[in-house]
Amino acid sequence: MAAVSGAFVVTQTSLSSKHHSPSSSPTMLLGTRAFPMNNKTARGLIRCELSSSSVSALQQLKKSAIYRYTKERSSIVVIGLSIHTTPLEMLEKLAIPVAEWPQAISELCALNHIEEAAVLSTCNRMEIYVLALSQHRGVREVTQWMSKRSGILVSDICHHWFLLYNKDATQHLFEVSAGLDSLVLGEGQILSQVKQVKEKLRNGFGMVIPGLFEKAITAGKRARAETGIASGAVSVSSAAVELAFTKLPPGSASSATMLVVGAGKMGKLVIKHLVAKGCTRMVVVN
């Protein structure tokens, strides 16, 4: 190991040394001068004499190095496709059953630039809400994940998607929860689906996205309680039944035979509405 023959001392006064450029900022540079060795410094110790302004400058230098690549704050992002912008067959391929939401959320949170995630998948929409370390990289990773899972090309997803960030993403979720983005204005089923998402997020999937959905549920409830948006037919199934009855002669509900196409959730809801209207004869085709 080589012997130490000299040391340096950092001083505030040396900042005005002629060796420094006149344009150099005294708060951002630290000067040095030769420091003679003695018994205490023979082991390679370096003595520093820093004024308070020099310490502040050093802290600034450290911060600039630490945050050089982390200037972009985490963002709330929604990557969405809905019946308003996307063919139904694509939505069906992208759909994620409720039972698979926790697994999907875990996979999304495992992506490099995703901190938190939530999935809102219904008949009419496929929306993924994330807290992303980087907007660009986060969107790219989520889109690639969607493509891999559904078999749909990334380019096709990008052709039909919508992207919203932070305030716009928050406002969109509030509108969805209130039924303002539904095919039938004021639809009540979507609020139940938003509540389902919140339930799936209870098992430690972060704080920002769960908090966002909690606020959205409150907004959805207030919209229905404080306005008349929930009056009349408030679901696609109830609207379909109401439309069907406009085609029937008055008082013929009990004698008419109703054909229901599809035995899924929507078909079951249609049957319930028909029964409530007094229908007793129904044929289901699946």
- pLDDT of the residue at 139: 98
| pTM of the predicted model as reported, rounded to 2 decimal places | 0.65
Cα(122)–Cα(119) distance, integer angstroms: 10
> pLDDT at position 230, please?
76
Catalytic residue among 48, 109, 123, 158: 123
The pLDDT value given to residue 31: 44
Determine the Cα angle at 163 with ends 157 and 167, to 5°. 160
Q: What is the pLDDT of residues 225-260, one digit of tens each?
A: 998 887 765 677 777 887 888 888 887 777 888 888
Q: Bridge partners of 10?
A: 32, 48
Residue 166: exposure state from Cβ atoms within 10 A (0-12, 13-18, ≥19): middle
Q: 75-226 has which fold?
A: Beta Polymerase; domain 2 (3.30.460)
Nearest in space to 129 (alpha carbons), one of 85, 151, 92, 162: 162
Q: What is the pLDDT of residue 72?
A: 65
Determine the residue type at 242: E
123 is catalytic: yes
More confident site: 135 or 11? 135
3-state secondary structure of 41: coil
- pLDDT digits over 16-50, tens only? 444 444 444 443 434 444 445 444 444 444 344 44
Q: What is the structure's pLDDT at 170?
A: 97
Q: Region 171-196: what's the mean pLDDT? A: 92
Amino acid at 111: L
Selection from 193, 180, 194, 112 nearest residue 145 by Cα: 112
| Alpha carbon distance 143, 258 (integer Å) | 42
| Residue-averaged pLDDT of the chain | 79
